[in-house]
Amino acid sequence: MGTAENGAATWKSDLMLALLAALFAFALDAWTGFGPLTDPGGDNDNLLRLVEVRDLLAGQGWFDLHQYRMGLEGGFVMHWSRLVDAPIAAIVLAASALTGSRPLAEDVAQVLWPALLLWSTLFFTARAARSFGGGGAVLPAILIGGAGYYFIGIYDPGALDHHNVQLMLTMASLALLLEAPARRGAALFSGLSAALTLAVGMETVPYVATIGVCVSLLFVADAGSERAIARDFGLGFAGIAALVFVTTIPPSAWGVAQCDAFSVAQFVVAAIAGIGLAAIASIEPAARGWQRRLASLAALGVVLGVVVAMLFPQCLSAPYAALDPRLKELWLDHVNEAQSLFTLLVRDPARVAARYATPLVAIILMAQRFRRGGWRRQDSLVAALLVVAFVVGVWQVRATTFSIAFAVIPLSAWIAKWRARAETSSSLGVALRLAAVWLVSINPVWTGVAAAASVAFDKDKAVADGTTTDKTCEKKATFAPLGNMAGSTVLTISNLGAPVLVYSGHRVFAGPYHRNVAGNLLALDAFLGSADDAHGIVEAHRVGLVAICPDNVETRILTQKAPQGFLGSLLQGKVPDWLEPIAETQGSPIELYRVRQAG
């Protein structure tokens, strides 16, 4: 009875501490006027998610993921999940009923949704830290976790993209798995969280796979303690995968495998893996003796490999292997979150500290813990996820969001250890070491160091995650003239695709999404070709407006590629006779041209 009550007390305490931190972050955002709502900083994903939510509320079908206003006529199918659209849409509906204003309701949703996710992510981070480093690690986890999450930016107002949802669910799966030996049902919900984060997006495949492998190997090593955990995790994983499959995939597409989104391929793998793990843990002959457990799980792994190789071989290739070479050269190679550590070392070395320092420190701490002996179950889970996230982050910087989050757990335990020493010692050396441990563990400190270094070595270079100005056409006000015009098709670069959709009723060809191949290539053909080539495309596709942003980085990339092309000529002031400048946009960061009607 006492243990249950104590567990409930710590649960409430951690929830309240996380809430206080989230409210503090909310207050900071409010103090700055919720700036990202009017200056989204060029984040197309957040803006297009809002468009997707609007479309859903306007009556577009639950299973219909077409983005009809982007790409060629008829649009293209997005690879995002309705699992993220639904709660945002629910907040918009509730706020609309309370305020009577749909625009205000959208603002409420854009503020409330990321704040709720920050709160829940901090809560699960605190729970994981408590399981790993004891009660003394909770406050440090809240502080360094809150600072890290806040300055990463994925919980900013307007952050409707799914990365924050994925981080929260992955941290929830880890925290619940750490608690599983002492809390009944935790493993079931850990499996549920792992399957949900996979259903939201394929970016978390490495972490979900790592969690599954850890559960399996822990079961091999210690069936007495881990058998029920493995069984429950497998059942939760397979069960929620089945539920997601039937509720988010239309029956007509049940046999269609998609490698970049949750489909029959992911469902089959999840079902076989989850049910197989649960069966091995439940069947006495298979679970008896570590050799049998290992052999049974190895056989399950072989079955999974054969199923994927035979039924879904296309999903074994690199994610963007089939991408058109021109799109890779002119788009993907310049996407910040898709850059590798080695690319950052050449292009933006200061940013390396902001993204890789605290995970590296945490890995060193885990290595020291392993060297000293006394390796624990908790260490295996945290170290595995931390190392995998760091390795994936070396490949693509987007994964550093996860490695920074996982690093909070060993770092908070480190701080807790030195705090305990400082409480029993009056030594100045111990106090200074504690201060140093705090500074080294706070990710924004490294961001500040990176910023200072960048200013020192290159005053014109943006640091950390980039800076925005009015001239890059990333603010809401920039698109006001477009919003006041009758709906038409706009020829513009992909960086402006989502802003045009969210701030106006127009449609566009280009948008930074790998499935929108035809629309993006058409825009490239128009801008890189001659004015006559562009005119032919404009006439064939009934384009009414051309929008360019001279200072946007994509504009510079395209004009360097084809200085005498249509876009380059417009920047030089060479306006063809079939276009007329729109006077209302003179002096604006964005330049608009109206297509003259023939005859």
Q: Measured between alpha carbons, how far is residue 550 from residues 78, 237, 496 in Å?
A: 29, 49, 12
Q: Measured between alpha carbons, how far is residue 222 from residues 2, 293, 376 in Å?
A: 27, 10, 12
Distance between CA atoms of 148 and 465, rounded to whole angstroms?
13
Distance between CA atoms of 409 and 246, rounded to whole angstroms?
36
**Would you state the pLDDT for residue 418?**
92
Distance between CA atoms of 544 and 456, rounded to whole angstroms?
46
**Would you state the pLDDT for residue 335?**
80
Distance between CA atoms of 329 and 528, rounded to whole angstroms?
13
Helix runs in 324-376, H state only? 325-330, 341-347, 349-372
CA dihedral 151, 153, 155, 156 (to 10 degrees): 100
Distance between CA atoms of 416 and 359, rounded to whole angstroms?
18
Domain 470-595: CATH class, spelled out: alpha beta
Other CB atoms within 10 A of residue 103 CB: 9
- Which residues in the chain land under pLDDT 70? 1-7, 453-470, 585-586, 598-599
Q: Considering only CA atoms, which of 211, 583, 162, 71 is closest in space to residue 398?
A: 162
pTM: 0.93
**Would you state the pLDDT for residue 459?**
47
Q: Considering only CA atoms, which of 566, 596, 599, 593 is closest in space to residue 581?
A: 593
Distance between CA atoms of 62 and 156, rounded to whole angstroms?
27
With contact defined as beta carbons under 8 Å apart, do 92 and 103 qualify? no
With residue 78 as reference, give the H or E element that holds it: none
**Would you state the pLDDT for residue 3?**
46
With contact defined as beta carbons under 8 Å apart, do 187 and 236 qualify? yes
- Sequence-distant (6+) residues with CB within 8 A of 412 are 129, 132, 133, 137, 138, 140, 141, 144, 145, 441
Q: What is the largest CA-CA distance in the chain?
A: 89
Domain ranges of the chain: 317-468, 470-595
Phi/psi of residue 491, nearest 5 degrees:
-90, 115
